[in-house]
Structure 1
Amino acid sequence: MTAVTMWQKIQLFYQSALENGDKRTDKWLLVYSPVPIMCVFLCYLIIIWVGPKLMAKRQPVNLKPVLIVYNFAMVCLSAYMFCEFTASSWLAGYSLLCQPVDYSDSPLAIRMAKVCWWFYFSKVIELSDTIFFILRKKDGQLTFLHVYHHATMIFNWWAGVKYVAGGQSFLIGLINSFVHIIMYLYYGMAALGPGMTKYLWWKRYLTSLQLLQFFTVTIHTSYNLISDCNFPDSMNAVVLAYSLSLIALFCNFYYHSYLNRKAKKT
Protein backbone atom coordinates (compact mmCIF):
# COMPACT_ATOMS: atom_id res chain seq x y z
CA MET A 1 0.00 0.00 0.00
CA THR A 2 2.86 2.31 0.89
CA ALA A 3 4.62 1.50 -2.38
CA VAL A 4 1.46 2.20 -4.35
CA THR A 5 0.95 5.48 -2.55
CA MET A 6 4.57 6.48 -3.20
CA TRP A 7 4.21 5.59 -6.89
CA GLN A 8 1.00 7.62 -7.08
CA LYS A 9 2.78 10.59 -5.52
CA ILE A 10 5.57 10.30 -8.07
CA GLN A 11 3.01 10.18 -10.89
CA LEU A 12 1.18 13.21 -9.51
CA PHE A 13 4.45 15.13 -9.16
CA TYR A 14 5.49 14.24 -12.71
CA GLN A 15 2.10 15.21 -14.14
CA SER A 16 2.17 18.46 -12.19
CA ALA A 17 5.65 19.22 -13.52
CA LEU A 18 4.39 18.70 -17.07
CA GLU A 19 1.24 20.76 -16.68
CA ASN A 20 2.78 23.71 -14.82
CA GLY A 21 5.22 24.66 -17.56
CA ASP A 22 5.08 27.62 -19.92
CA LYS A 23 2.00 26.95 -22.08
CA ARG A 24 3.50 28.91 -24.96
CA THR A 25 6.41 26.49 -25.38
CA ASP A 26 4.68 23.17 -24.61
CA LYS A 27 4.02 22.35 -28.26
CA TRP A 28 7.56 23.12 -29.40
CA LEU A 29 9.99 20.35 -30.29
CA LEU A 30 11.58 18.51 -27.30
CA VAL A 31 9.87 20.71 -24.69
CA TYR A 32 6.63 19.35 -23.19
CA SER A 33 8.09 16.22 -21.59
CA PRO A 34 11.66 15.47 -20.43
CA VAL A 35 11.41 11.97 -21.91
CA PRO A 36 12.58 12.85 -25.47
CA ILE A 37 15.61 14.78 -24.24
CA MET A 38 16.40 11.95 -21.81
CA CYS A 39 16.38 9.58 -24.78
CA VAL A 40 18.79 11.91 -26.58
CA PHE A 41 20.98 11.90 -23.47
CA LEU A 42 20.98 8.08 -23.23
CA CYS A 43 21.90 7.80 -26.93
CA TYR A 44 24.71 10.27 -26.28
CA LEU A 45 26.08 8.14 -23.44
CA ILE A 46 25.83 4.97 -25.53
CA ILE A 47 27.75 6.64 -28.37
CA ILE A 48 30.48 7.72 -25.94
CA TRP A 49 30.73 4.18 -24.57
CA VAL A 50 30.45 2.23 -27.84
CA GLY A 51 31.97 4.70 -30.30
CA PRO A 52 35.65 4.48 -29.26
CA LYS A 53 35.39 0.66 -29.18
CA LEU A 54 34.03 0.56 -32.74
CA MET A 55 36.74 2.95 -33.92
CA ALA A 56 39.58 1.15 -32.11
CA LYS A 57 40.66 -0.90 -35.15
CA ARG A 58 39.57 1.60 -37.77
CA GLN A 59 41.34 4.56 -39.33
CA PRO A 60 40.23 8.07 -38.30
CA VAL A 61 37.46 9.39 -40.54
CA ASN A 62 38.39 12.41 -42.67
CA LEU A 63 35.74 14.95 -41.68
CA LYS A 64 37.46 18.09 -42.91
CA PRO A 65 34.64 19.25 -45.26
CA VAL A 66 32.00 18.37 -42.66
CA LEU A 67 33.85 20.20 -39.89
CA ILE A 68 34.32 23.32 -41.98
CA VAL A 69 30.62 23.50 -42.83
CA TYR A 70 29.50 22.54 -39.31
CA ASN A 71 31.71 25.01 -37.45
CA PHE A 72 30.94 27.98 -39.66
CA ALA A 73 27.23 27.09 -39.60
CA MET A 74 27.44 27.17 -35.79
CA VAL A 75 29.09 30.59 -36.03
CA CYS A 76 26.08 31.78 -38.03
CA LEU A 77 23.57 30.20 -35.65
CA SER A 78 25.35 31.67 -32.62
CA ALA A 79 25.44 35.10 -34.27
CA TYR A 80 21.71 34.86 -35.04
CA MET A 81 20.91 33.96 -31.41
CA PHE A 82 23.15 36.71 -30.07
CA CYS A 83 21.38 39.28 -32.25
CA GLU A 84 17.94 37.94 -31.27
CA PHE A 85 18.73 37.96 -27.54
CA THR A 86 20.10 41.49 -27.86
CA ALA A 87 17.23 42.86 -29.96
CA SER A 88 14.45 41.15 -27.99
CA SER A 89 15.78 42.27 -24.60
CA TRP A 90 16.52 45.79 -25.79
CA LEU A 91 13.14 46.35 -27.42
CA ALA A 92 11.31 44.89 -24.41
CA GLY A 93 13.26 47.14 -22.03
CA TYR A 94 14.86 44.28 -20.09
CA SER A 95 16.71 45.05 -16.87
CA LEU A 96 20.17 43.57 -16.33
CA LEU A 97 19.56 43.44 -12.58
CA CYS A 98 16.10 41.95 -12.30
CA GLN A 99 13.91 40.72 -15.13
CA PRO A 100 10.84 38.52 -14.49
CA VAL A 101 9.58 36.25 -17.27
CA ASP A 102 6.91 37.72 -19.52
CA TYR A 103 4.50 34.82 -20.06
CA SER A 104 2.19 36.82 -22.32
CA ASP A 105 1.62 36.25 -26.03
CA SER A 106 2.96 39.66 -26.99
CA PRO A 107 5.24 39.65 -30.07
CA LEU A 108 8.36 40.53 -28.04
CA ALA A 109 7.63 37.92 -25.34
CA ILE A 110 7.16 35.22 -28.00
CA ARG A 111 10.27 36.40 -29.83
CA MET A 112 12.33 35.99 -26.64
CA ALA A 113 10.80 32.57 -25.95
CA LYS A 114 11.63 31.44 -29.49
CA VAL A 115 15.29 32.44 -29.28
CA CYS A 116 15.48 30.64 -25.91
CA TRP A 117 14.22 27.53 -27.72
CA TRP A 118 16.78 27.95 -30.47
CA PHE A 119 19.48 28.24 -27.82
CA TYR A 120 18.22 25.03 -26.20
CA PHE A 121 18.13 23.24 -29.56
CA SER A 122 21.65 24.46 -30.38
CA LYS A 123 22.84 22.56 -27.30
CA VAL A 124 21.36 19.40 -28.79
CA ILE A 125 23.16 20.11 -32.08
CA GLU A 126 26.42 20.66 -30.18
CA LEU A 127 26.40 17.04 -29.03
CA SER A 128 27.78 16.46 -32.54
CA ASP A 129 31.12 17.81 -31.26
CA THR A 130 31.57 14.59 -29.29
CA ILE A 131 30.64 12.39 -32.25
CA PHE A 132 33.21 14.16 -34.41
CA PHE A 133 35.92 13.55 -31.77
CA ILE A 134 35.08 9.84 -31.73
CA LEU A 135 35.06 9.48 -35.53
CA ARG A 136 38.41 11.28 -35.74
CA LYS A 137 39.79 9.11 -32.89
CA LYS A 138 40.44 12.16 -30.74
CA ASP A 139 39.55 10.24 -27.59
CA GLY A 140 41.78 12.48 -25.50
CA GLN A 141 39.21 15.23 -26.05
CA LEU A 142 36.47 13.19 -24.37
CA THR A 143 37.28 14.58 -20.95
CA PHE A 144 34.92 14.74 -17.99
CA LEU A 145 34.63 18.50 -18.57
CA HIS A 146 33.59 18.01 -22.21
CA VAL A 147 30.99 15.32 -21.52
CA TYR A 148 29.66 16.98 -18.36
CA HIS A 149 29.23 20.36 -20.01
CA HIS A 150 27.54 19.04 -23.15
CA ALA A 151 25.27 16.58 -21.35
CA THR A 152 24.09 18.91 -18.60
CA MET A 153 23.40 21.91 -20.83
CA ILE A 154 20.61 20.10 -22.66
CA PHE A 155 18.80 19.43 -19.37
CA ASN A 156 19.41 22.92 -17.99
CA TRP A 157 17.94 24.53 -21.06
CA TRP A 158 15.09 22.05 -21.34
CA ALA A 159 14.05 23.35 -17.90
CA GLY A 160 14.74 26.90 -19.02
CA VAL A 161 12.45 26.72 -22.05
CA LYS A 162 9.87 24.61 -20.23
CA TYR A 163 9.47 26.99 -17.27
CA VAL A 164 11.32 30.30 -17.74
CA ALA A 165 11.60 31.10 -21.45
CA GLY A 166 12.81 34.65 -20.99
CA GLY A 167 13.43 36.90 -18.02
CA GLN A 168 16.79 36.50 -16.31
CA SER A 169 17.55 33.50 -18.56
CA PHE A 170 18.25 35.79 -21.49
CA LEU A 171 21.63 36.96 -20.14
CA ILE A 172 23.05 33.42 -20.08
CA GLY A 173 21.99 32.86 -23.69
CA LEU A 174 23.28 36.28 -24.74
CA ILE A 175 26.75 35.81 -23.25
CA ASN A 176 27.11 32.16 -24.26
CA SER A 177 26.05 32.88 -27.85
CA PHE A 178 28.72 35.55 -28.11
CA VAL A 179 31.38 33.20 -26.69
CA HIS A 180 30.32 30.49 -29.14
CA ILE A 181 30.69 32.84 -32.10
CA ILE A 182 34.36 33.17 -31.15
CA MET A 183 34.74 29.49 -30.22
CA TYR A 184 33.29 28.02 -33.40
CA LEU A 185 35.17 30.58 -35.47
CA TYR A 186 38.35 29.21 -33.90
CA TYR A 187 37.33 25.60 -34.63
CA GLY A 188 36.27 26.54 -38.17
CA MET A 189 39.62 28.16 -38.88
CA ALA A 190 41.45 25.18 -37.36
CA ALA A 191 39.46 22.83 -39.60
CA LEU A 192 40.78 24.65 -42.68
CA GLY A 193 44.17 23.03 -42.14
CA PRO A 194 47.72 23.54 -40.83
CA GLY A 195 48.06 26.74 -42.82
CA MET A 196 45.80 28.48 -40.30
CA THR A 197 47.86 27.50 -37.24
CA LYS A 198 49.79 30.79 -37.15
CA TYR A 199 46.48 32.66 -36.89
CA LEU A 200 45.22 30.59 -33.94
CA TRP A 201 47.52 31.89 -31.22
CA TRP A 202 44.54 33.13 -29.23
CA LYS A 203 43.23 29.74 -28.02
CA ARG A 204 44.34 30.49 -24.45
CA TYR A 205 42.32 33.70 -24.45
CA LEU A 206 39.27 31.77 -25.65
CA THR A 207 39.43 29.70 -22.46
CA SER A 208 39.79 32.93 -20.46
CA LEU A 209 36.68 34.28 -22.20
CA GLN A 210 34.77 31.13 -21.27
CA LEU A 211 35.81 31.56 -17.64
CA LEU A 212 34.78 35.21 -17.72
CA GLN A 213 31.26 34.25 -18.82
CA PHE A 214 30.89 31.82 -15.90
CA PHE A 215 32.09 34.43 -13.40
CA THR A 216 29.64 36.95 -14.88
CA VAL A 217 26.73 34.49 -14.64
CA THR A 218 27.73 33.60 -11.06
CA ILE A 219 27.78 37.25 -9.94
CA HIS A 220 24.54 38.03 -11.74
CA THR A 221 22.73 34.99 -10.32
CA SER A 222 24.06 35.58 -6.80
CA TYR A 223 22.69 39.10 -6.89
CA ASN A 224 19.28 37.84 -7.95
CA LEU A 225 19.21 35.29 -5.12
CA ILE A 226 19.66 37.99 -2.47
CA SER A 227 17.54 40.67 -4.16
CA ASP A 228 13.77 40.90 -4.27
CA CYS A 229 13.26 39.82 -7.89
CA ASN A 230 10.20 38.03 -9.24
CA PHE A 231 12.17 35.20 -10.81
CA PRO A 232 12.20 31.63 -9.37
CA ASP A 233 14.89 31.27 -6.72
CA SER A 234 15.01 27.56 -7.52
CA MET A 235 16.20 28.36 -11.04
CA ASN A 236 18.73 30.86 -9.75
CA ALA A 237 20.05 28.29 -7.26
CA VAL A 238 20.50 25.67 -10.00
CA VAL A 239 22.25 28.16 -12.28
CA LEU A 240 24.54 29.29 -9.45
CA ALA A 241 25.55 25.73 -8.51
CA TYR A 242 26.09 24.85 -12.16
CA SER A 243 28.19 27.92 -12.97
CA LEU A 244 30.36 27.29 -9.89
CA SER A 245 30.96 23.71 -11.05
CA LEU A 246 32.01 24.98 -14.48
CA ILE A 247 34.33 27.56 -12.95
CA ALA A 248 36.06 24.79 -10.98
CA LEU A 249 36.36 22.51 -14.03
CA PHE A 250 37.52 25.22 -16.43
CA CYS A 251 40.04 26.57 -13.90
CA ASN A 252 41.44 23.06 -13.60
CA PHE A 253 41.59 22.78 -17.40
CA TYR A 254 43.27 26.20 -17.70
CA TYR A 255 45.85 25.31 -15.06
CA HIS A 256 46.83 21.98 -16.62
CA SER A 257 46.67 23.22 -20.23
CA TYR A 258 48.57 26.48 -19.84
CA LEU A 259 50.05 27.29 -16.43
CA ASN A 260 51.33 23.83 -15.47
CA ARG A 261 52.58 23.12 -18.98
CA LYS A 262 54.42 26.44 -19.06
CA ALA A 263 56.00 25.71 -15.66
CA LYS A 264 57.22 22.29 -16.89
CA LYS A 265 58.78 23.87 -19.99
CA THR A 266 60.54 26.44 -17.81
Structure 2
Amino acid sequence: MQNRKPFRLKSLIIVYDSVQIVGNGFSLFLFYKHGWSWRYFYECRSPDFSNNEQSLGFVHAAYFTYLLKIMELMETVMYAFRKKNSQISFFHVYHHCYACVTAWGFTKYGGGSMLSYTIMVNCIVHVFMYTYYLSSAIADRLPFSLKHVKKFVTTLQIVCKTFQLLLDKLLNFTFVSGAIVKRFSEHRFRAETKLCHST
Protein backbone atom coordinates (compact mmCIF):
# COMPACT_ATOMS: atom_id res chain seq x y z
CA MET A 1 0.00 0.00 0.00
CA GLN A 2 2.90 2.33 0.76
CA ASN A 3 4.07 2.45 -2.87
CA ARG A 4 0.61 2.55 -4.42
CA LYS A 5 -1.13 5.67 -5.57
CA PRO A 6 -3.92 6.98 -3.32
CA PHE A 7 -7.41 5.78 -4.18
CA ARG A 8 -9.87 8.28 -5.59
CA LEU A 9 -13.01 7.85 -3.56
CA LYS A 10 -14.94 10.99 -4.47
CA SER A 11 -18.17 9.16 -5.36
CA LEU A 12 -17.98 7.04 -2.20
CA ILE A 13 -17.31 10.15 -0.09
CA ILE A 14 -20.33 11.93 -1.59
CA VAL A 15 -22.54 8.92 -0.81
CA TYR A 16 -21.03 8.52 2.69
CA ASP A 17 -21.49 12.21 3.57
CA SER A 18 -25.06 12.16 2.25
CA VAL A 19 -25.89 9.07 4.32
CA GLN A 20 -24.41 10.74 7.42
CA ILE A 21 -26.48 13.91 6.89
CA VAL A 22 -29.70 11.94 6.45
CA GLY A 23 -28.81 9.48 9.24
CA ASN A 24 -28.05 12.16 11.83
CA GLY A 25 -31.17 14.09 10.82
CA PHE A 26 -33.21 10.90 11.16
CA SER A 27 -31.67 10.24 14.58
CA LEU A 28 -32.80 13.71 15.71
CA PHE A 29 -36.27 12.95 14.36
CA LEU A 30 -36.44 9.61 16.21
CA PHE A 31 -35.53 11.16 19.56
CA TYR A 32 -37.99 14.01 19.06
CA LYS A 33 -40.72 11.59 17.94
CA HIS A 34 -40.34 9.57 21.14
CA GLY A 35 -40.68 12.54 23.46
CA TRP A 36 -37.30 14.24 23.65
CA SER A 37 -37.54 17.92 24.48
CA TRP A 38 -35.20 20.72 25.53
CA ARG A 39 -36.22 20.03 29.15
CA TYR A 40 -33.58 17.30 29.07
CA PHE A 41 -30.96 20.04 29.37
CA TYR A 42 -32.11 21.23 32.77
CA GLU A 43 -34.40 18.61 34.31
CA CYS A 44 -33.10 15.63 36.24
CA ARG A 45 -34.14 12.62 34.18
CA SER A 46 -32.92 9.23 35.22
CA PRO A 47 -32.88 6.36 32.70
CA ASP A 48 -36.28 4.85 32.01
CA PHE A 49 -35.97 1.06 31.88
CA SER A 50 -39.68 0.37 31.47
CA ASN A 51 -41.19 -1.25 28.39
CA ASN A 52 -43.50 1.61 27.49
CA GLU A 53 -43.56 2.93 23.94
CA GLN A 54 -41.61 6.12 24.68
CA SER A 55 -38.84 4.31 26.56
CA LEU A 56 -38.42 1.66 23.85
CA GLY A 57 -38.49 4.40 21.21
CA PHE A 58 -35.59 6.13 22.96
CA VAL A 59 -33.63 2.89 22.98
CA HIS A 60 -34.30 2.34 19.27
CA ALA A 61 -33.20 5.93 18.53
CA ALA A 62 -30.06 5.43 20.62
CA TYR A 63 -29.32 2.13 18.87
CA PHE A 64 -29.71 3.78 15.46
CA THR A 65 -27.26 6.48 16.57
CA TYR A 66 -24.86 3.78 17.80
CA LEU A 67 -24.94 2.19 14.32
CA LEU A 68 -24.13 5.61 12.82
CA LYS A 69 -21.10 5.87 15.13
CA ILE A 70 -19.87 2.46 13.95
CA MET A 71 -20.34 3.60 10.37
CA GLU A 72 -18.23 6.70 11.10
CA LEU A 73 -15.23 4.40 11.52
CA MET A 74 -15.30 4.09 7.72
CA GLU A 75 -14.06 7.69 7.59
CA THR A 76 -10.68 6.61 8.97
CA VAL A 77 -10.45 3.79 6.43
CA MET A 78 -11.23 6.23 3.61
CA TYR A 79 -8.50 8.59 4.88
CA ALA A 80 -6.04 5.69 4.81
CA PHE A 81 -7.02 4.63 1.28
CA ARG A 82 -6.70 8.24 0.10
CA LYS A 83 -3.32 8.53 1.90
CA LYS A 84 -4.56 11.47 3.97
CA ASN A 85 -2.42 10.36 6.92
CA SER A 86 -2.30 13.86 8.40
CA GLN A 87 -6.04 13.56 9.10
CA ILE A 88 -5.61 10.29 11.00
CA SER A 89 -4.47 11.91 14.22
CA PHE A 90 -4.59 10.40 17.68
CA PHE A 91 -7.53 12.67 18.48
CA HIS A 92 -9.41 11.53 15.36
CA VAL A 93 -9.01 7.82 16.18
CA TYR A 94 -9.70 8.36 19.89
CA HIS A 95 -12.80 10.44 19.16
CA HIS A 96 -14.35 7.84 16.87
CA CYS A 97 -13.57 4.92 19.20
CA TYR A 98 -14.80 6.94 22.17
CA ALA A 99 -18.01 7.86 20.33
CA CYS A 100 -18.72 4.17 19.58
CA VAL A 101 -18.20 3.10 23.18
CA THR A 102 -20.22 5.95 24.68
CA ALA A 103 -23.05 5.46 22.16
CA TRP A 104 -23.13 1.79 23.12
CA GLY A 105 -23.11 2.70 26.84
CA PHE A 106 -25.94 5.17 26.37
CA THR A 107 -27.98 2.63 24.40
CA LYS A 108 -27.48 -0.06 27.05
CA TYR A 109 -27.66 1.98 30.26
CA GLY A 110 -28.86 5.52 29.66
CA GLY A 111 -31.74 5.46 27.20
CA GLY A 112 -34.27 8.18 27.95
CA SER A 113 -32.09 9.92 30.51
CA MET A 114 -30.86 13.48 30.56
CA LEU A 115 -27.63 12.28 28.90
CA SER A 116 -29.57 12.19 25.63
CA TYR A 117 -28.72 15.88 25.18
CA THR A 118 -25.16 14.85 24.24
CA ILE A 119 -26.47 12.69 21.41
CA MET A 120 -28.80 15.46 20.22
CA VAL A 121 -26.03 18.07 20.21
CA ASN A 122 -23.67 15.62 18.49
CA CYS A 123 -26.24 14.85 15.78
CA ILE A 124 -26.89 18.56 15.15
CA VAL A 125 -23.16 19.22 14.80
CA HIS A 126 -22.76 16.20 12.51
CA VAL A 127 -25.52 17.45 10.18
CA PHE A 128 -23.60 20.72 9.76
CA MET A 129 -20.22 18.98 9.59
CA TYR A 130 -21.15 16.40 6.96
CA THR A 131 -23.01 19.04 4.95
CA TYR A 132 -19.74 20.98 4.87
CA TYR A 133 -17.79 17.82 3.92
CA LEU A 134 -20.27 17.08 1.13
CA SER A 135 -20.03 20.68 -0.08
CA SER A 136 -16.22 20.39 -0.06
CA ALA A 137 -16.41 17.23 -2.16
CA ILE A 138 -18.42 19.08 -4.81
CA ALA A 139 -16.82 22.52 -4.24
CA ASP A 140 -15.89 22.88 -7.90
CA ARG A 141 -19.62 22.97 -8.72
CA LEU A 142 -20.55 25.53 -6.04
CA PRO A 143 -20.97 29.23 -6.89
CA PHE A 144 -19.45 30.35 -3.56
CA SER A 145 -16.41 29.79 -1.37
CA LEU A 146 -16.49 27.50 1.67
CA LYS A 147 -13.80 29.46 3.52
CA HIS A 148 -16.18 31.03 6.06
CA VAL A 149 -18.25 27.87 6.36
CA LYS A 150 -15.18 25.91 7.47
CA LYS A 151 -14.52 28.41 10.28
CA PHE A 152 -18.17 28.20 11.36
CA VAL A 153 -18.16 24.39 11.45
CA THR A 154 -14.87 24.26 13.38
CA THR A 155 -16.12 26.84 15.90
CA LEU A 156 -19.41 24.95 16.25
CA GLN A 157 -17.54 21.70 16.97
CA ILE A 158 -15.35 23.32 19.62
CA VAL A 159 -18.23 25.16 21.33
CA CYS A 160 -20.46 22.07 21.40
CA LYS A 161 -17.71 19.77 22.69
CA THR A 162 -16.84 22.28 25.43
CA PHE A 163 -20.53 22.64 26.30
CA GLN A 164 -20.96 18.86 26.50
CA LEU A 165 -17.92 18.40 28.72
CA LEU A 166 -19.02 21.19 31.07
CA LEU A 167 -22.54 19.80 31.37
CA ASP A 168 -21.22 16.29 31.92
CA LYS A 169 -19.01 17.62 34.70
CA LEU A 170 -21.94 19.49 36.28
CA LEU A 171 -24.07 16.34 36.11
CA ASN A 172 -21.42 14.35 37.99
CA PHE A 173 -20.51 11.99 35.17
CA THR A 174 -16.91 11.06 34.61
CA PHE A 175 -15.51 9.65 31.39
CA VAL A 176 -12.97 6.88 31.84
CA SER A 177 -11.54 5.12 28.77
CA GLY A 178 -14.56 6.14 26.76
CA ALA A 179 -17.17 4.64 29.06
CA ILE A 180 -19.66 6.58 31.13
CA VAL A 181 -19.12 5.72 34.76
CA LYS A 182 -21.36 6.94 37.54
CA ARG A 183 -19.34 8.50 40.34
CA PHE A 184 -21.35 7.10 43.13
CA SER A 185 -22.51 3.65 44.06
CA GLU A 186 -25.90 2.42 42.87
CA HIS A 187 -27.38 3.19 46.28
CA ARG A 188 -26.15 6.79 46.17
CA PHE A 189 -27.41 7.19 42.59
CA ARG A 190 -30.90 6.04 43.59
CA ALA A 191 -30.92 8.46 46.52
CA GLU A 192 -29.92 11.36 44.25
CA THR A 193 -32.57 10.37 41.71
CA LYS A 194 -35.28 10.44 44.40
CA LEU A 195 -34.04 13.86 45.52
CA CYS A 196 -34.04 15.08 41.96
CA HIS A 197 -37.64 14.00 41.30
CA SER A 198 -38.93 15.38 44.60
CA THR A 199 -37.86 18.97 43.81
TM range (shorter): 0.7 to 0.9
Alignment RMSD, CA only? 2.1
**2:145 maps to what in 1?**
199
* Pair 1:189-2:135 in alignment: yes
Identity %: 26
Distance of 1:196 and 1:84 partners within structure 2:
32
Please state whether the residue corresponding to 1:112 is helix, strand or coil: helix
Q: How does 1:1-266 map to 2 (within 5 A)?
A: 54=1, 56-90=2-36, 94-97=39-42, 98-196=44-142, 198-201=144-147, 202-225=149-172, 236-238=173-175
2:94 counterpart letter in structure 1: Y
Q: Give the count of matched residue pairs.
A: 176
Distance of 1:193 and 1:212 partners within structure 2:
26
Structure 1 142/70 Cα, relative in aligned 2: closer, same or farther at 3 Å? Answer: same
Please state whether the residue corresponding to 1:105 is helix, strand or coil: coil
Matched-pair contact (CA < 8 Å) for 2:69–2:96: yes
**More strand by percentage:** 2
Distance of 2:79 and 2:143 partners within structure 1:
19
Greater C-alpha radius of gyration: 1
Distance of 1:79 and 1:157 partners within structure 2:
16
- Give deviations 1:224-247, integer Å, cap 9, x for gaps: 22xxxxxxxxxx1128x99xxxxx
- Give deviations 1:138-196, integer Å, cap 9, x for gaps: 11111111111111211122222122222022101100000000001111111124344
**More helix by percentage:** 1
Give the alignment's TM-score, normalised by structure 1: 0.61
Residue 197 of structure 1 deviates from its aligned partner by 8.5
Unaligned runs of 5+ in 1: 1-53, 226-235, 243-266
